A and B are shown apart, each in its own frame.
Chain A
Amino acid sequence: MIVSSLIERVFERVDESVANPVYYTREEVLALLNKGQRLFCALTHGIERVSTFALTATTAIYSVMTTSITDWTGIPIRVTLSGLRLTPVTVHQLDALKETWFSTAGTPTKYFSLGLNLLGVYPQPAGAGSSLSITHIATPAVLDHDGETPEMPEETHPLLVDFASYALRHKEGGQELQNAIMYLDSFAKGARKYGAFFRSRAVAQGYDKLPCDLSTVDISSLIRIKLASQARGGYKRANDNGQPQQGVA
């Protein structure tokens, strides 16, 4: 579905005029569609990209996000050097492997990632000119005009409508938000279903990192809103003469 169709469906869900919206703006809905897309892709690891990263001689640890890969999310899932796969390790494992791993030079055979931005290789390259090919989880392209199509699979696009329809109700709160929670439940169930699919695919393909196992995440508290109880008694309503009546609702 294209963005304009998604926005129209959201407006229909919240009973807003498509041609002349009053309570919500198209920009507001578009922002929420983007949020829904990003959350879905983060939960399922649905967007993968392959990027090239140049190594520097005698350097073991590199800054990635600030250097070259702009849609980097800090989640590499497969790293190769000249076609040979590097083994994922942790810094702790390298400490156990060799005390002087940090300064050992050679052809990299292992890699590790630290936080969002740091990527390290062992051994550090002895000479210049080599590049890593990194398959990584990426941020989906931002949707910013009507003719664009989300990168997510087509059959998951209604989940974006669900997420935006739910999130629009935040500013109304109360019963409106409580009624819209079913859309969040639908989104979460869809993410769980596709997350399981992408997870099993990642296992089959031997990726170094798997998406979060949503089947272990309890969302029951997320889809339940407790409204503040309304005040009882003391409610005044005017009688036919315009005089307030105590305790009459």
Chain B
Amino acid sequence: MADVVTQMTEILPALHSLTESDLVFVTGDEIIRLYDEAVKRLAANLTLFVAIDTSITLVSGQAEYSLPSRHLATIRIALPTGMLTASTSRRLEVKDDAFGTTTGTPTDWYQDKIGSGVFRLYPVPNTTGTVVTVIYLEYPAELDCERSTRTIPAPDWIVDMLDWEVLAEVYGQNSDAQMPEVAAHLKQLVGFYQQAAEADYGGGR
């Protein structure tokens, strides 16, 4: 776990500054935004931020439910009786013409052709109250410039990779302090970190 303001302080010397107020070619807020973007890329590129949600309960007659916030990809959906099968509307249509209205104990879930941010169950639940467990890939809470959300929930060595990524972006920006060769090199360094991280955690969605 790391704090984005602490990380920013750590990379200030590489930007010829000892404090945030010394910065000339970039601001502290810009650096935080760069960290936020780097964290979001990290979430998409590595299977790192996997979460479990148990806040959804079945409602009789309701097929569609909202996915958790900051959801990137669904890994599994389960009821207390067991895992549901990941399916598609096309497969369910072949199985049951009336798949959108058939009621029963859910055995499958699908997310296609129904818009984003939701999933549906087949058959449509005919009971209320059963807890639905969703295991999913997420991206961490947004790091904001107000400094209220500051946590980067990653191991320290992965956070180091984010430091290099942010420095690469700053050195690559069009300014009097631009150093494109350093920016290009740091992107290679980030790629090196990423290869090692993929071996440990697996690629993203």
A residues touching B (Cβ–Cβ < 8 Å)? Answer: 24-25, 27-28, 31, 35, 38-39, 41-43, 61, 63, 65-66, 72-75, 91, 95, 99-103, 114-118, 137, 139, 142, 170-171, 173-174, 177, 209, 211-213, 217, 219, 221-222, 225-228
Let me know if A91 and B76 touch, CB within 8 A: yes
Which chain B residues lie closer than 8 Å to A228 at the CB level? 180-181
How near does chain A come to B156, taking the closest CB pair, in angstroms?
A: 5
B residues touching A (Cβ–Cβ < 8 Å)? Answer: 1, 10, 13-16, 18, 47-52, 75-76, 78, 80-83, 133, 135, 137, 153-157, 160, 163, 167, 171, 179-182, 184-186, 188-189, 191-193, 195-197, 199-201
Let me know if B137 and A217 touch, CB within 8 A: no
How near does chain B come to A182, taking the closest CB pair, in angstroms?
A: 14
Q: Can you list 5 A-B contacts with CB-CB less than 8 angstroms, sorted by A residue number?
A: A28-B14, A117-B49, A171-B15, A173-B179, A222-B189
Asked, given contacts A31-B10, A43-B196, whether A102 binds B82 with beta carbons under 8 Å apart, the answer is yes
Let me know if B157 and A177 touch, CB within 8 A: no
Which chain A residues lie closer than 8 Å to B189 at the CB level? 222
Which chain B residues lie closer than 8 Å to A225 at the CB level? 181, 184-185
Which chain B residues lie closer than 8 Å to A174 at the CB level? 179, 181
Which chain A residues lie closer than 8 Å to B191 at the CB level? 222
Asked, given contacts A74-B201, A222-B188, A228-B180, whether A42 binds B157 with beta carbons under 8 Å apart, the answer is yes
How near does chain B come to A179, taking the closest CB pair, in angstroms?
A: 13
Which chain A residues lie closer than 8 Å to B192 at the CB level? 217, 219, 222
| Beyond A115-B48, A117-B153, A171-B16, 9 extra complex contacts between A and B, CB < 8 Å | A41-B157, A65-B153, A74-B200, A91-B76, A116-B49, A116-B154, A209-B200, A217-B196, A225-B181
What is the CA–CA distance of A118 and B10 in the complex, to the nearest angstrom? Answer: 29
Let me know if A61 and B199 touch, CB within 8 A: no
Which chain B residues lie closer than 8 Å to A42 at the CB level? 155, 157, 196-197, 200
How near does chain A come to B115, taking the closest CB pair, in angstroms?
A: 26
How near does chain A come to B150, taking the closest CB pair, in angstroms?
A: 16
By beta carbon, the residue of chain B nearest A37 is: B157
The list of the 10 closest CB pairs from A to B, nearest first, reads A115-B50, A212-B199, A100-B82, A173-B179, A38-B157, A28-B13, A42-B157, A173-B182, A114-B50, A73-B155
What is the CA–CA distance of A65 and B154 in the complex, to the nearest angstrom? Answer: 10
What is the CA–CA distance of A43 and B189 in the complex, to the nearest angstrom? Answer: 13
